[in-house]
Amino acid sequence: MYYLKEEVYFEPLFNSWYAWPYLIAPVQGARHTVNTHRRIMKSFVNNYQLHILACQEPGITGAEFLNCTEDQLEDIKRLIDFIDVDCKDLVELSQAVKTLDELLAGHQTGESIEYLYEQVPKPLKGYVELFFDMQHNPSYRLIESLIYKSDYYKPQLQSVSFGMVSAEKQRPFVFSTPRLPDKDHVQIKLDFNSPILEKIFRSREIPLTEGELSEIIAVCECQGGLSLKDLFTTKQPSYLHQPVTDGVKLQYTGHAGFLIESKDVAILMDPVLPSRCSSYAGDVFSFSQLPEKIDYICLTHSHQDHVNL
């Protein structure tokens, strides 16, 4: 029987970048891809020496410097080309948002904006509703339920990366550096709704048989120096969920997070859970201590120290 190791950590990826909520929604994802990802990568290509030097300064961690090496320069160029060629429709969608913003900003008469529908850029036609805000300024709403059904929603750009935490290894800051395949990770071409991903996560507490693990390995398209089997162990997790039999239990899970639990219901608030490294195994609340079923998740707001996909 095979359990997912406690020290395994997971990073969801969108077009090789760490996937936070603003990259899931198609329009916001297009804007970030063009105006953040592509811009930072072009800066790296133009002056990679500066980026490399800047990333050696702890005081500017989180600034817009790619934490990559000179050897990865060609990989970054390929990512830029992929955006420009294979994601051309997202580039056009991003530009359409900019054009629509400028169009509405130019309407200052206070008269009807009905005529502006004809001028909505083609990538956004049928996906926006124009209106006046409470200050009587023209604005628009994205009809996201339709956009998610369009070609602009691209689960094929989603993938996942697994690595193992240790006291010695430092990860690049997640919002400024794409995740390229390397010797310390395995990247798998799976979208976030994949049932295979669910099976892998569930194996933190419910082990896979050798046959189940072999079947997952056989169908997964992997890159990187780790193999999928490296993520698993025959050893059961050291810390397990302790069921509540009476009253209400409040468990601090780290940062702003809490698990509120009775024998009938479990509520998880602002879940940012760490993977358990051997050097601090007893100091953290981690995935294997969660109940089998979580009834409600409360996200107070979508800052990334409160929402971990």
For the chain (309 residues), the mean pLDDT of every run of 10, in chain order, is: 93 94 93 96 96 89 89 96 97 97 90 93 97 92 96 96 81 85 93 94 92 94 92 91 94 93 95 85 88 93 83
Q: Same structural domain for residues 249 and 110?
A: no
Model pTM? Answer: 0.89
35 in Cβ contact with 94 (< 8 Å)? yes
Q: Same structural domain for residues 103 and 200?
A: no
Where in the sequence is the domain holding 133, given as residue range(s)? 88-147
Q: Same structural domain for residues 33 and 78?
A: yes
Closest CA to 290 of 309, 271, 264: 271
- Final residue of a domain: which of 201, 233, 265? 233
Q: Same structural domain for residues 309 and 243?
A: yes
Q: Same structural domain for residues 21 and 75?
A: yes
Q: Same structural domain for residues 274 and 138?
A: no
Q: Same structural domain for residues 100 and 74?
A: no
Measured distance between the N- and C-terminal CA atoms of the chain, rounded to whole angstroms: 27
Q: Same structural domain for residues 176 and 306?
A: no
Q: How many domains does the chain have?
A: 3
pLDDT of amino acid 166:
78
Q: Same structural domain for residues 272 and 200?
A: no
Phi, psi at 243, each rounded to 5°: -60, 145
Q: Same structural domain for residues 74 and 214?
A: yes
- Final residue of a domain: which of 233, 265, 292? 233
14 in Cβ contact with 32 (< 8 Å)? no
Q: Same structural domain for residues 168 and 64?
A: yes
pLDDT of amino acid 281:
80
pLDDT of amino acid 309:
77
Q: Same structural domain for residues 307 and 242?
A: yes
pLDDT of amino acid 172:
73
- Final residue of a domain: which of 233, 248, 265? 233
∠ Cα 147 149 155 (to 5°): 95
Beta pairing class for 296-298 and 266-269: parallel
Place of tokens 């992997």: 222
Residues 6+ apart with CB under 8 A from 123: 89, 92, 93, 95, 96, 152
pLDDT of amino acid 167:
64
